[in-house]
A and B are shown apart, each in its own frame.
Chain A
């Protein structure tokens, strides 16, 4: 049975603009609207809505703790958080990359540091993860 599902994310309101840009990158060609109703069951009012090309909107609402909850459409009987994770999969990399750049910009002690262009696949405690590395500019990364 299709229905609306919602789940937590770690995206923060403080990084709203970075999230919007990451969503535009992740869902290339989709329109991102602010303070709009999402085309999901119940048409919930959301702070951010991605009008995805497949017709299934993704909405974000700020929670009290400053993080966004995500709302989307579940076409079957799937688990809410799994559906949210699936929808967010393409967003993590551009979002984390943007946050890394912002952190460098906002931290005088990291002046001259860079975010490496490539995202590497690494293994951490037996788990496959992706890695974005921040290091001193000039290619060395050594002191």
Chain B
């Protein structure tokens, strides 16, 4: 089974609260993307939660939640 790849921007339109969820990217790209998304969206006090992390060429996936 292949892994899904996506970046979700979740936002509460009543408060502006924003959460980023990154799924299925390789580790290095995941970190770089997380930083870029946070910067672009002006998220300065984000908490990064790694819900899964795998390394190696095994079709690995990685998820980060930022919010």
Contact = CB atoms under 8 A, between A and B. Distances in A.
Interface residues of A, number: 38
Nearest to B33: A107
A81 B37 CA distance: 24
A131 B5 contact: no
B7 to A, nearest CB: 4
Nearest to B26: A109
Interface in B3-42: 3-19, 24, 29, 32-33, 36-37, 39-42
Nearest to B37: A103
Contacts of B41: 10, 12, 96, 99
A31 interface: no
Nearest to B40: A99
B14 A103 contact: no
B2 to A, nearest CB: 5
A142 B37 contact: no
Interface stretch (A36-44, A47-55, A72-80, A87-95): A87-95
B16 A92 contact: yes
Contact of B33 (A88, A110, A128): A110
A96 B19 contact: no
Contacts of B13: 89, 92-93, 130
A121 B16 CA distance: 15
Interface of B: 2-19, 24, 29, 32-33, 36-37, 39-44, 59
6 contacts: A11-B42, A14-B40, A66-B42, A129-B17, A130-B11, A133-B8
Given A92-B11, A96-B18, A100-B9, 13 more contacts: A12-B39, A65-B44, A66-B42, A67-B44, A89-B14, A100-B7, A107-B32, A110-B33, A122-B10, A129-B10, A135-B6, A142-B2, A143-B24
